[in-house]
Amino acid sequence: MSETEAVVEQVTLFRKRIDELRDEIAKSIVGNRDVVDGVITCMLAGGHALLEGVPGLGKTMLVRTLAETLSLTFSRIQFTPDLMPADILGTTVIDDAQGGGKAFEFRKGPIFANIVLADEVNRATPKTQSALLEAMQEHRVSIGRRTHQLEEPFVVLATQNPLEMEGTYPLPEAQLDRFFFKLHVPLPGRDDLHRILDLTTGASPEKRRAVLDRDAILQMQQLVRQVPVARYVQDYAVRLLQATHAGGPDSPELVKRFVRYGSSPRGAQALLLAAKIRALFDGRFAASVDDVRAAALPALRHRILLNFEGEAEGVKTDQVVLALLESVPEGKAEKDARSAN
């Protein structure tokens, strides 16, 4: 088998597995294809997802469904104002030793799972929210003098209520930046509402089965990293990132007037990895500018901080990202590639 044939076989298998995963999730989740693909993208990129929407839109159900379709360990943390960091990470206790003495024993918290559902994450205090920082970035937990490594894959899927709701706390900027995507869960349309009612008020729903195991997911994550990105595609992602800052060369007027801080380099990393995964979703083994553009909203919306004027004017970060996509010019290589297609 030639190298090209091997690549085609890998991409075909990748796409087949994704289709099977989507089909299983669709047994419980109606519509919201972009949100479902966004969560899957985060898992394949080794990143984390923040799902925002009003209660009752199926955010928790989506995460639970994903966990059931994967042969991975799963835990749920219900965030409340009285939740403490030790309730998430675990704690060291004094236990009876075999010889009759006492010994220190570390009892792991719910963070020690492959998929962690952080439900209503913005109902906990900033101190408790910050307990996730090291785990999300380094995939490890430090308790006292010891560091405990988390098993791969490790994905935090957090749900969040809109900040305007009572009893919510804004997530720290450092924690927001550690989320690969921020996904908005919209209200379903009329047809989708009918399907939801048929599914939830009728006969027992069809049971979901696990279609991917740990080894398959790790192989898919490795394949994602091997997808090539042309220099002009990467340069477009870099210029998008620079344009989120008021002093960027391609910054639109909306950014210069209303943005206090733009995206960190993690935003560009998310753009490129998401572009690679989208290419594989379509059966391609090369990321394009359109793939980068498709990832811009979920990858950048939570990494742009508005100034006081922007907040007072009611500007949304989605408006800023859309303005970036309109104002950042395509390079000559990008236009030539589009013409060739």
- Domain with residue 298: its CATH number is 1.10.8.80
Within-domain flag for 265: yes
Q: Final residue of a domain: which of 226, 251, 270?
A: 226
Same-domain check for residues 19 and 121: yes
**Residue 317 exposed, middle or buried by CB count within 10 Å (0-12, 13-18, 19+):** buried
Same-domain check for residues 47 and 164: yes
| Torsion angles phi and psi, residue 302, rounded to 5 | -95, 0
Within-domain flag for 95: no
CATH number at residue 50: 3.40.50.300
CA dist., res. 129 & res. 300, Å (int): 21
pLDDT of residue 338: 56
Same-domain check for residues 306 and 221: no
Structural domain boundaries enclosing 316: 227-341
pLDDT of residue 225: 92
CA dist., res. 122 & res. 2, Å (int): 51
Same-domain check for residues 222 and 238: no
In this structure, the chain runs to a length of 341
Same-domain check for residues 198 and 289: no
Same-domain check for residues 222 and 243: no
Up-side HSE of residue 22: CA atoms within 13 Å toward CB? 16
Number of domains in the chain: 2
Low-confidence residues of the chain, pLDDT below 50? none
| Torsion angles phi and psi, residue 157, rounded to 5 | -115, 105
Within-domain flag for 6: yes
Residue type for position 203: A
Same-domain check for residues 212 and 249: no
CA dist., res. 88 & res. 125, Å (int): 13
pLDDT of residue 100: 64
Within-domain flag for 69: yes
Same-domain check for residues 152 and 48: yes
CA dist., res. 270 & res. 293, Å (int): 12
pLDDT of residue 247: 82
CA dist., res. 74 & res. 286, Å (int): 33
Same-domain check for residues 58 and 203: yes
Within-domain flag for 163: yes
Same-domain check for residues 203 and 71: yes
Partners of 160 in the β-ladder: 52
Residue type for position 91: T
Q: How far is CA 195 from CA 26, 56, 141, 206, 207, in A?
A: 11, 15, 42, 14, 17
Same-domain check for residues 211 and 234: no
CA dist., res. 20 & res. 193, Å (int): 24
Within-domain flag for 106: no
Within-domain flag for 199: yes
Q: Final residue of a domain: which of 226, 242, 263?
A: 226
CA dist., res. 60 & res. 116, Å (int): 11
Within-domain flag for 258: yes
**Residue 17 exposed, middle or buried by CB count within 10 Å (0-12, 13-18, 19+):** middle
pLDDT of residue 332: 55
pLDDT of residue 165: 59
Same-domain check for residues 189 and 331: no
Q: Final residue of a domain: which of 226, 245, 267?
A: 226
CA dist., res. 281 & res. 278, Å (int): 5
